[in-house]
Chains A and B, each alone.
Chain A
């Protein structure tokens, strides 16, 4: 039975190597302490500190180039840290004999290839390399261990086949058997399953989970599949720029706020109440989280000031309408491209009252009306009337702050109207991000 950690991430308790957990004492399997490491003239890990407890199933995530692979190389002693200390089960990794190291830690790299035509059994045999001295051959015991590893990974029937003739999934299981034949206490996998199809991916994960649950094998899995990771991880560690950015249970690490910053893009995070998994997905087009159409927003824009709003509103699933725009205006082009319903008028001309009336009707059908940071001249002053009628219809109205600075009408007419609208109940916004947060808040 696996106990839940009481202390997570807080380093040593009383300075020793053990951490208390319910019902016993658990050894720190991997202890990375202020490690700086990298390649000539280029540091990848920058004072990184993390711990993995014995028996844990940890998934390590992070964007490309954040140092995950470097961490694996450093943890296995392949790369010497320029500062800090790496300990495997309490022992400094640089002081371990190669054979001892192999019994503590097995690594499955992204891809394993041999130029020579080895059979599956011969490949698995390599796992026993570290256990035998050069002047000894393999003992019967070694063959039993190999056989056992091959049974676990279900490759025994492939023993006489050529390794290179196998499918990707079978090859990965053979490599896993090879590493398990080391009989390691801990195993680290470097994105080894990301190129497999979903069936084989789960097959490998099932093997790992079984080894973890039944034999207490500590597993550190580097993965790019955040959703899959959340299903299997006891704990997730998010790396970014050579340090740990977040660590904890899947729902603690996988939150849109942290992820969007680390991966530098918009991400949608959904919690599945039924399975407890966390679903992380990127944004492809205008379908919002869950795909259901939520409230509608009418955007008053022009001159390219609306594009960002169209895109973001679409991302979050708002139904967007816009107008009045002049044809050939960049906002008009964007609206056409995004399939947004728009009221259009003649290019480079003042907005007609008919168009303004049509736009007002659209605005009154929407739940919210937003004014983009559009500059005002005499030609588009009419657009403010749309906001006024929306307010009269009882709609929520948002005005981009700083109208006065963009007001090129005689006598600052636009600014005056805007001030009047604010008095009448319109609210001001300055950053699109905050506006979206407000709109989504009021949505709930």
Chain B
């Protein structure tokens, strides 16, 4: 029996817990600032810094920087949210919108746009999207727990989420079908998602909410590892599994709803970035949570840089680019690395 610690051997190294992806993580973290800087240089008029001495040039750089911050916020929120949903629901198809966040937020936004609140009251669009997203989660969670008497099972959560989402989409479709052409355009444009900077206070508030969700998620990272072994095993290992599940779902939904409220429903990031991060760096959530936050943010910033430059002066919705550009790239990675992420 080993009573004391062996001084000459670091137990962490011995166990290979953190040494697995060490060099890769370092490489990745070096790449990140370079990629972000690159996205700042990209503009409709070509690659390079705008003339900073002129007020217009300064404003342009400021705008690009704001969009970069938006992209980092929204991208991190969505991909961390995806990590949490995939861990708690133990399902590779889970994504931030799986529990009806998109349906709820979309319905809230559609109502706000079509009934004129957006024009009349400032901030009404993000606020109504956020509130209806959180309300949807509450509804889904309540529906799922009713049947199982207590904490809901994973399957009833997924099913309730799918059903509530479907109902929300139907209502949105109904509202859109009866709307004017302008209202229709606004709703669709919002639902496709874009990263046009919102007001500063709004960005700060979003950063606070997303930061809060991220902190909760990171603190629970080790517990998410245990949860992937199932709720029962997690309970045996000395955690309040139901509480962790609830807190995790709440934090993930908070992040997703905040992201949706400022950036609209940008798809693909929350589903695929967690997978790719897991394939590259392994499924240990203590690493996976922060790394997928960075990866999601950088990915969305790059996609946005493409969206606003490739077809300039026309700007593409960034949600189109994420899947169109990111899809093939990620498919290549997953093909080679999938066995490091999910069990075959």
Contacts and interface: CB of A to CB of B under 8 A. Distances in A.
A114 B236 contact: no
Interface in B77-129: 90-92
A116 B238 contact: no
Nearest to A188: B236
Interface stretch (A44-52, A130-138, A375-383): A130-138
A333 B67 CA distance: 89
A422 interface: no
Residue in B220, B229, B230 whose Cβ sees the most chain A Cβ within 10 Å:
B229
A190 B175 CA distance: 55
Interface in B50-96: 90-92
B240 interface: yes
A127 interface: yes
Given A78-B232, A140-B5, A122 B17 contact: yes
Nearest to A137: B286
A117 interface: yes
A106 B225 contact: no
Contacts of B91: 115
B282 interface: yes
Contacts of A164: 343-344
Contact of A126 (B2, B5, B225): B225
Interface in A103-145: 103, 105-107, 109, 112-119, 121-127, 129-132, 134-135, 137-138, 140-141, 143-144
Q: How large is the interface on B (under 10, 10 to 19, 20 to 34, 35 or more residues)?
A: 35 or more
Contact of B238 (A101, A117, A124): A101
B228 A106 contact: no
A40 interface: yes
Interface string A86-106: 000000000000111111011
B313 interface: no
Contacts of A113: 229-230, 343
Contact of A159 (B15, B284, B339, B340): B15
A115 B16 contact: no
Given A98-B238, A102-B237, A121-B16, A129 B222 contact: yes
Contacts, number: 140
Interface string B320-344: 0000000000000000000111111
A160 interface: yes
Nearest to B12: A143
Given A78-B232, A115-B92, A159-B16, A129 B238 contact: yes
A38 to B, nearest CB: 12
B226 A126 contact: yes
Given A116-B228, A134-B219, A159-B16, A40 B343 contact: no
Q: Is the interface of B mostly helix, strand, loop or mixed?
A: loop
A160 B20 contact: yes
A137 B218 CA distance: 10
Contacts of B236: 76, 78, 102, 105-107, 109, 179
Interface in B173-225: 219-220, 222-223, 225
Given A112-B229, A113-B229, A164-B343, A121 B238 contact: no
Given A119-B16, A121-B15, A129 B340 contact: no
B237 A151 contact: no
A129 B283 contact: no
Contacts of A102: 236-239
A334 B118 CA distance: 88
Contacts of A115: 90-92, 228, 342-343
A84 B233 CA distance: 24
A200 interface: no
Contacts of A131: 238
A137 B284 CA distance: 13
Contacts of A146: 11, 15
A114 B343 contact: yes
A83 B238 CA distance: 24
Contacts of B20: 119, 160
B229 A114 contact: yes
Contacts of B286: 137
Contacts of A151: 2
A130 B92 contact: no
Given A116-B228, A117-B342, A103 B238 contact: yes
Contacts of B339: 117, 162
A216 B192 CA distance: 63
Interface in B216-259: 219-220, 222-223, 225-226, 228-230, 232-240
Residue in A124, A126, A134 whose Cβ sees the most chain B Cβ within 10 Å:
A126
Interface of B: 1-2, 5, 11-12, 14-17, 20, 90-92, 149, 219-220, 222-223, 225-226, 228-230, 232-240, 278, 282-284, 286, 339-344
Q: Which 9 A-B pairs have the closest CB atoms?
A: A130-B238, A102-B238, A143-B11, A116-B283, A134-B219, A107-B236, A121-B15, A160-B16, A126-B226
Interface of A: 40, 73, 76-78, 98-103, 105-107, 109, 112-119, 121-127, 129-132, 134-135, 137-138, 140-141, 143-144, 146-148, 150-151, 159-160, 162, 164, 178-179, 182
10 contacts: A73-B232, A101-B238, A102-B238, A112-B230, A117-B339, A117-B343, A122-B282, A125-B222, A147-B15, A159-B15
